[in-house]
Structure 1
């Protein structure tokens, strides 16, 4: 089974088709919560919720060839919900003995570097943001999987990534 339509029809018909669907898109779905830097437990929750949403909407998918994009968007929404919920909580894991904490200047430098990187990244267009986040957090994904998730041609993934990285470098240099 090559096309998403065939795989989707098989998934609607039974467990073997569902397993093929999960096998095809598992790494892509995992890449999304990883790009949000969620804990393993939270990423697993997002992963399962994404598949549950697909199971609930399996008969309503109208564009099987855009299934990768649908899964990425669903996982993104789930990840954002987790980030928002976790932002309201105070984790006890953050309280560490003073001897294991980095020096204040190390924290300041690292924080500044991260802030500048995220600021520069957020000024890029959405396509570049998504492409670079997927590339950074899931380098094992093939160009075909990345292309499907972003709705672009496989042949343009490398060139687009190169242009996006160059734009990010320029933005970072402009901040100095």
Structure 2
């Protein structure tokens, strides 16, 4: 008569296997190299199965596996020995996701000189920073001008610029004076920016 497994037998076997694995992890945490080797042997298939569920290449799967074992070695004294299997699964998944995210950023090309030519129309890396600093200087210089001049320059720099008739009416400046005042404003700004 064939042997039928009873659920209690399976639970006992699993419980015994877990307690043996937990004991090995505890020994490995104390520096036992034989126990460490047995822990790796015991859980290697689990780590391999997780890496392959992400459909990584063999080299990426090997890299992930090595990193996972290194992480376990680094944190073995903090990992609950009973839950080391779950810890390995979570760590392996995270590492697989990291590898997949990195792969998305890599641009594969077959042309050996594809990256030799640099785009010439791109600004220098610090050009934007310098432009921002210059804009702050210009704003400060503008703020030091009389209010009426600031308003007039704002209207002239609007897109599209306000017509002279509108500027004359709003600021109560004769149309013939707008050009010369504008010239004095710009001269004053040049002096302020030069100092």
For normalisation by structure 2, the TM-score amounts to 0.44
Find the structure with the greater CA-based Rg.
2
